[in-house]
């Protein structure tokens, strides 16, 4: 009796996608590159693969010609063999994605049906994107990297796509890379940027952050109007019931939506797991500006940053008393959005786009309301001829003021702040055009073993502003306590 497919039982892995992502740092995804021979699929794919690897992600290129020398050896170019070739490539891409990798497939895939089949095979395991590498027959023939068009036009090759066999141009691809108008490097950058955007959760990540911050803001305002119990932490800073309620809401929402990411929160013990999680970490301040909250001046925030690879990549700062968000994601801009305008169909770009001011003279300097220090006073005195005014604000609102052009500079020297104080506003400032570093101009690395900003931080609206200021000289790095 012959064995049939009904006797086969696929064995389910005991490792889920979230656990693999913590190890590889990559969300399973397949980018299916379709286009004529010579359009540049393999060239672009190999460049994008390297960009993703250089960025610290697990990525692999699956080239159609390479697969035909092994897995699909023996298959010809009849419609039936081409169908089987693409089916095998799709199944292979699915397995690679299940291992926790970003997969870039290069296959002509001449028909809409062949691409639909690939999407159908891959989609249960990973995000699938159809990428059209666009270049017409004339452009591809002029390149003719393999000498195939010359033979096809001479009738020496039968069923050659674009010459003697049809190519069905994608009607609604997820991404178009026009290699006739853009360099291979530029197209690879577009593909890598999209892959990184998808890898970090893209609009879903920001949507979850915004909704969680809104819910946390509502909880905080409940205590704001009725009063909150206050206790003192080890560092003698205040801790309120509002801090704890906000932290509980944020932690639950972020863990449920993104179990693959770690959380570093001001109000939770740091177990160090975040340092080995290559997928990323949420850096959370449930109530930034507790003293402002207790003073009832409205200058307090909910701040959440998302960091990956040592950099903050996305962030949300919610201002409960103003019912407004500041939000940003790397390479997509920074925006200000009223709570009331957060719809179910949120898209990055909703709200008012933020941009820093163009001032390099007559500067507006943002200073801390609750934490004045001698360095700031000395700085203001040394630069009084360039400073037109000072604006006082609490919490990370100082950074938000710079992001929307209402202030131009802020300086904080010394180990007074932690990562959760700066992460959310850092990406908002940077995406609005600001320069955000430690107090002496070095990169402010995210998700460090020691979360204290021991060298402080500074924010400038533009480089010309920094060049014209007298800044405090670097001092000894404050010791860990």
- Calculate the dihedral angle through the C-alpha atoms of 36, 42, 48, 49, rounding to the nearest 10 degrees: 140
DSSP structure string for 140-196: HHHH-TTSHHHHHHTTSSSS-BTTTB-----SS-SEEEETTTS-HHHHHHHHHHHHH
DSSP state of 296: T
Range list for CATH 3.30.540.10 in the chain: 228-353
Range list for CATH 3.40.50.300 in the chain: 17-199
Tell me, what's the pLDDT at 1? 46
109 is a catalytic site residue: yes
- Distance, in Å, from the CA atom of 389 to the CA atom of 363, rounded to the nearest integer, reads 7
CATH of 228-353, one of 3.40.50.720, 3.30.540.10, 3.20.20.80, 3.40.50.10190: 3.30.540.10
State the catalytic residue, choosing from 26, 37, 109, 207: 109
Tell me, what's the pLDDT at 236? 76
H/E run at residue 292: helix 290-295
Sheet of strand 281-288, all strands in order from the earlier edge strand to the far edge: 262-265, 281-288, 301-308, 311-319, 324-329, 333-338, 352-353
H/E run at residue 315: strand 311-319
Q: Please state which architecture CATH assigns to domain 17-199.
A: 3-Layer(aba) Sandwich (3.40)
What are the pLDDT tens digits along the chain (481 aa)? Answer: 455 566 777 778 888 888 888 888 889 999 999 999 999 999 999 999 999 999 999 999 999 888 888 888 888 888 888 899 999 999 999 999 999 999 999 999 999 999 999 999 999 999 999 999 999 999 999 998 778 898 988 888 888 888 888 999 999 999 999 999 999 999 999 999 999 998 888 899 999 999 999 999 999 999 998 877 888 787 778 899 999 999 999 999 999 999 999 999 999 999 999 999 999 999 999 999 999 999 999 999 999 999 999 999 999 999 999 999 999 999 999 999 999 999 999 999 999 999 999 999 999 999 988 776 788 889 999 999 999 999 999 889 999 999 999 999 999 987 789 999 999 999 999 999 999 999 989 999 999 999 999 999 999 999 999 998 999 876 666 565 4
Tell me, what's the pLDDT at 108? 94
Tell me, what's the pLDDT at 478? 56
Q: Please state which architecture CATH assigns to domain 363-467.
A: 3-Layer(aba) Sandwich (3.40)
Orientation angle between helical segments 202-226 and 241-257, nearest 10 degrees: 160
SS3 annotation, 410-473: EEECCCCCEHHHHHHHHHHHHHCCCEEECCCCCCCCCCCCCCECCCCEEEECCHHHHHCCCCCC
How far from 240 is each of 183, 229, 252, 264, 290, CA to CA, in Å? 56, 5, 19, 19, 8
Range list for CATH 3.40.190.80 in the chain: 363-467
For the entire predicted model, the pTM comes to: 0.87
């Amino acid at each position: 009796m012959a064995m049939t497919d009904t006797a086969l039982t696929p064995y389910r892995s005991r490792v889920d996608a979230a656990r693999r992502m913590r190890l590889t740092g990559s969300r399973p995804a397949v980018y299916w590159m379709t286009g004529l021979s010579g359009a540049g699929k393999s060239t672009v794919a190999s460049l994008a693969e390297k960009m993703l690897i250089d960025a610290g992600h697990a990525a692999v290129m699956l080239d159609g010609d390479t697969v035909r020398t092994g897995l699909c050896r023996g298959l010809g170019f009849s419609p039936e063999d081409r169908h089987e070739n693409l089916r095998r490539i799709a199944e292979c891409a699915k397995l690679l994605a299940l291992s926790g990798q970003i997969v870039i497939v290069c296959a002509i895939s001449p028909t809409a049906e062949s691409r639909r089949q690939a999407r159908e095979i891959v989609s249960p395991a990973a995000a699938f994107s159809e990428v059209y590498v666009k270049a017409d027959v004339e452009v591809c023939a002029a390149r003719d990297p393999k000498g195939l068009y010359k033979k096809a036009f001479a009738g020496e090759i039968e069923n050659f796509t674009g010459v003697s066999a049809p190519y069905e141009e994608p009607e609604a691809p997820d991404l178009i890379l026009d290699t006739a108008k853009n360099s291979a490097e530029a197209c690879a950058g577009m593909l890598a940027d999209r892959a990184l955007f998808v890898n970090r959760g893209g609009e879903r990540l920001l949507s979850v952050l915004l909704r969680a911050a809104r819910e946390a803001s509502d909880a905080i305002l409940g205590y704001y109007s009725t009063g909150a119990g206050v206790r003192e932490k080890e560092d003698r800073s205040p801790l309120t019931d509002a801090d704890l309620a906000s932290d509980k809401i944020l932690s639950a929402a972020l863990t449920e939506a993104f179990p693959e990411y770690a959380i570093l929160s001001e109000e939770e013990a740091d177990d160090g797991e975040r340092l080995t999680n290559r997928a990323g970490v949420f850096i959370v301040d449930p109530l930034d500006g507790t003293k402002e909250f207790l003073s009832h001046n409205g200058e307090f925030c909910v701040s959440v940053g998302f960091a990956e690879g040592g950099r903050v990549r996305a962030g949300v700062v919610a201002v409960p008393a103003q019912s407004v968000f500041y939000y940003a994601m790397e390479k997509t801009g920074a925006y200000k959005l009223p709570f009331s305008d957060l719809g179910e169909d949120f898209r990055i770009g909703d709200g008012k786009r933020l941009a820093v001011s163009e001032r390099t003279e007559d500067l507006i300097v943002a200073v801390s309301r609750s934490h004045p220090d001698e360095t700031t006073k000395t700085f203001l005195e040394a630069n009084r001829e360039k400073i037109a005014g000072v604006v006082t604000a609490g919490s990370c609102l100082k950074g938000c003021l710079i992001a929307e052009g209402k202030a131009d500079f802020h300086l904080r020297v010394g180990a007074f702040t932690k990562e959760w104080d700066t992460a959310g506003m850092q990406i908002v400032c940077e995406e609005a055009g600001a320069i955000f570093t430690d107090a002496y101009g070095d990169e402010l690395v995210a998700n460090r073993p020691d979360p204290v900003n021991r060298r402080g931080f500074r924010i400038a609206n533009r480089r010309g502003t920094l060049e014209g200021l007298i800044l405090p000289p670097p001092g000894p790095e404050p010791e860990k306590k």
